[in-house]
């Protein structure tokens, strides 16, 4: 069994908000062993009640390789503190500095950077979204012995930058932010802690993004992927395009309209394909000269119906619509009982006494740090696709900008070549089926 230990954070112990509780995860084998050791005359249900299980409020659309759910059994430590925790009154909400927080709410939790910001008196306009400012958590349970001792059991939300080394993402091990993570994206987890609520700085708005609402990305924080801290696996996310990589919600996906395909493609991959074709045709010194109708006529706004053309002219007579999509709320609730508790003490006093919690309000590590030695089945990956994208002979010679209203790329010639066009339009082919996107 792994003893609870703090997640490494460089912070003075004096700056921690007082919290005597720690969480230790209990694996299934340990739980079964304890059940077998119970006295024969003891009611099994009473025995099971002594090992609480937290049903996860998170239901990612993607699956994990090892566990079907994020539900975990846990224990509050030390043992003396466990009794104190269960003896405390359970509340549905608490009030801190005039703001009311409910069980199941998302919250910002102060860390060392928060203390420095408050000491410097720096104003914080608008919602906080950066991991250097605060951590983000979801309240699971609120307990208090009195108005001066109010605690919340929480699940931490990870910023992508905080993903530890050797985190398993599909078939490869990763660390930190990945190219498909959006600017305001968080990662849900079953990393559990108990914190002193004086370290809460404000409410947070966090939405879950699914296939049904991924085109409704707002400026609020959101999550679509989860981290299981028992195995340090990330839940699967949809992989698209020829490169078989997830889409970034901050970037555009372009849909192939062909009925036998209808795959989503990264704009960056399409741009790379178009620029590669342009470079292969023109190289470093050949000027571009328009060759007949094609896209050039469309640019000049000659309004005539499209008709079949001769082979090799570069245009087709299809009028299928282009689909443009951005990768992109729903929550399951955890209900608590009891009334609200009003927390005494001002924020300034809390900061002066180190209330900004690193908890013991720091994020305690519930499990071992993942290592590459852990028995897993790493995949071979898709090295060729990655190599293709990394080889960009056109850089510094040509630029491409996608025009979604025309479903074409505008090419800009950066070479110092005499004659020819300096800008022109290039049509786009699906990277999977080869159909013209038009």
Q: Print pLDDT tens along the chain (438 aa).
A: 444 434 443 343 444 578 889 999 998 766 666 655 655 555 555 544 578 999 999 999 899 989 989 999 999 988 777 778 989 999 999 999 999 999 999 999 998 666 555 555 555 555 444 556 689 999 999 999 999 999 999 999 999 999 999 999 999 999 999 999 999 999 999 999 999 999 999 999 999 988 666 666 667 899 999 999 999 999 999 999 999 999 998 898 999 999 999 999 999 999 999 999 999 999 999 999 987 544 544 444 445 444 444 444 444 444 443 333 444 444 434 344 456 777 765 444 444 444 444 444 566 655 455 554 444 333 333 444 555 667 889 999 999 999 999 999 999 999 999 999 999 999 999 999 999 988
Q: Is 294 left (phi over 0), alpha (psi -120 to 50) or beta?
A: left
Is residue 355 within 8 Å of residue 344, measured between CB atoms?
A: no
Beta bridge partners of 239: none
User: In the prediction, which pLDDT does 218 show?
Assistant: 64
Q: Give the distance, in angstroms, between the CA of residue 25 and the centroid of all CA atoms in the same chain.
A: 24
Is residue 145 within 8 Å of residue 89, measured between CB atoms?
A: yes
**What is the Cα–Cα distance from 136 to 150, expressed in whole angstroms?**
18
Q: Could you tell me what percent of the chain has a pLDDT over 90?
A: 51
Write the pLDDT tens digit of every residue in 177-214.
999 999 999 999 999 999 999 999 999 999 998 866 66
DSSP 293: S
DSSP 87-148: HSEEESEEEETTEEEETT-EEEEE-HHHHHHHHTT----S----TTTEEEEEEEEEEEEETT
**What is the Cα–Cα distance from 234 to 131, expressed in whole angstroms?**
19
Closest alpha carbon to 200 in 119, 141, 135: 135
Q: What is the dihedral of CA 164, 225, 246, 262, to 10 degrees?
A: 170
Length of the chain measured in residues: 438
CATH architecture of the domain covering 5-237+327-365: Roll (2.30)
Q: In the chain, where are the structural domains located?
A: 5-237+327-365, 252-326+380-437
Beta bridge partners of 437: 428
Threshold 0.75, pTM exceeds:
no
Closest alpha carbon to 154 in 206, 214, 117, 114: 206
CA distances from 422 to 209, 274, 282, 315 (A): 42, 16, 12, 21
**What is the Cα–Cα distance from 393 to 83, expressed in whole angstroms?**
66
Closest alpha carbon to 93 in 347, 345, 339: 339
């Amino acid at each position: 069994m792994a003893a609870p230990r703090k997640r490494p954070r460089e912070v003075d112990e004096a700056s921690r908000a007082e919290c005597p509780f720690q969480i230790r995860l209990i694996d299934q084998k340990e739980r079964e062993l304890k059940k077998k050791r119970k006295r024969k005359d003891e009611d099994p249900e009473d025995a099971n009640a002594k090992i609480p299980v937290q049903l996860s409020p998170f239901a990612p659309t993607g699956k994990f390789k090892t566990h079907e759910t994020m539900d975990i059994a846990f224990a509050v430590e030390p043992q003396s503190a466990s009794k104190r925790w269960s003896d405390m009154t359970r509340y549905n909400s608490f009030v801190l500095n005039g703001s009311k927080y409910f069980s199941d709410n998302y919250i910002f939790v102060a860390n060392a950077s928060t203390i420095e910001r408050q000491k410097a008196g720096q104003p914080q306009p608008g919602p906080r979204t950066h991991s250097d400012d605060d951590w983000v958590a979801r309240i699971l349970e609120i307990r208090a012995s009195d108005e001066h001792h109010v605690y919340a059991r929480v699940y931490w939300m990870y910023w992508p930058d905080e993903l530890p080394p050797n985190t398993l993402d599909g078939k490869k091990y990763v660390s930190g932010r990945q190219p498909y993570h959006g600017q305001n994206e968080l990662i849900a987890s079953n990393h559990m802690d108990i914190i002193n609520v004086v370290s809460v700085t404000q409410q947070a708005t966090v939405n879950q993004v699914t296939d049904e609402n991924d085109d409704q990305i707002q400026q609020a924080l959101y999550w679509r992927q989860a981290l299981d801290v028992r195995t340090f696996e990330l839940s699967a996310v949809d992989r698209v395009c020829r490169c078989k990589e997830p889409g970034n919600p901050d970037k555009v996906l372009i849909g192939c309209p062909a009925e036998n395909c209808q795959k989503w493609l990264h704009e960056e991959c399409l741009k790379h394909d178009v620029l590669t074709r342009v470079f292969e045709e023109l190289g470093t010194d050949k000027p571009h000269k328009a060759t007949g109708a094609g896209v050039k006529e469309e640019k000049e706004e000659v309004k005539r119906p499209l008709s079949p053309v001769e082979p090799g002219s570069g245009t087709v007579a299809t009028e299928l619509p282009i689909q443009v999509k951005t990768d992109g709320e729903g929550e399951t609730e955890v209900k608590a009982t009891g009334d609200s508790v009003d927390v005494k003490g001002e924020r300034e006093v809390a900061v002066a006494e180190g209330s900004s919690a690193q908890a013991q309000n720091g994020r305690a590590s519930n499990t071992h740090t993942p290592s590459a030695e852990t028995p897993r089945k790493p995949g071979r990956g898709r090295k060729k696709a990655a190599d293709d994208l990394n080889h960009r002979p056109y850089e510094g010679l040509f630029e491409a900008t996608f025009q979604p209203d025309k479903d074409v790329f505008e090419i800009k010639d950066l070479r110092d070549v005499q004659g020819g066009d300096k800008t022109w339009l290039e049509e786009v082919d699906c990277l999977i089926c080869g159909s013209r996107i038009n």
